[in-house]
Amino acid sequence: MLDLILPLECGGCGTPSTGWCDACAVELSVAAEQPHVVNPRIDPQVPVFALGRYAGARRQAILAMKEHGRGDLIAPLAHALAVGVHLRRQDGRRRAAAAATPSPGWPGQRWPATPTSPSSRHCA
């Protein structure tokens, strides 16, 4: 009955009656070969890693959290980030440090705070 008044849907795929479905959790999971090095357009002079492609459930969940205030998605996104940081720290080649940085916004963006802040706190 509550779904009629306040419909709940998966933040990754839109499946009704769940905030985060099992299929999207699997898609967001971080494999042992991840994170992988990426080459940003502007060289930040430090290695940059990505947990996966910005597509599918990952992209939809990030957009839902950032643009639609879906705070319930902080936990699964932060968990994926924590796993990625843990995997990097297990890599014996170098010590890993992590910094979550927000992407540039656009004029008139309505975020009251940087959405990476709660994710980073939850990840820690």
Q: Mean pLDDT in each 10-residue stretch from start to end of the chain (124 residues)?
A: 73 93 94 82 84 91 90 92 84 58 53 54 57
pLDDT of residue 116: 54
Enclosing domain of residue 39: 29-99+113-123
Residue 67 lies in a domain: yes
Residue 37 lies in a domain: yes
Residue 6 lies in a domain: no
DSSP string spanning 80-123?
A: HHHHHHHHHHH-TTS-------PPP--TT---SS-THHHHHHHH
Residue 1 lies in a domain: no
Phi/psi zone of residue 6: left (φ > 0), alpha (ψ -120 to 50 degrees), beta?
beta
pLDDT of residue 22: 96
Residue 83 lies in a domain: yes
The tally of domains found in the chain comes to 1
pLDDT of residue 47: 81
pLDDT of residue 30: 87
Burial of 25 (0-12, 13-18, 19+ CB in 10 A): middle
The amino acid that residue 116 corresponds to is: T
Residues paired with residue 100 on neighbouring β-strands, in sequence order: none
Residue 69 lies in a domain: yes
Residue 7 lies in a domain: no
Residue 105 lies in a domain: no
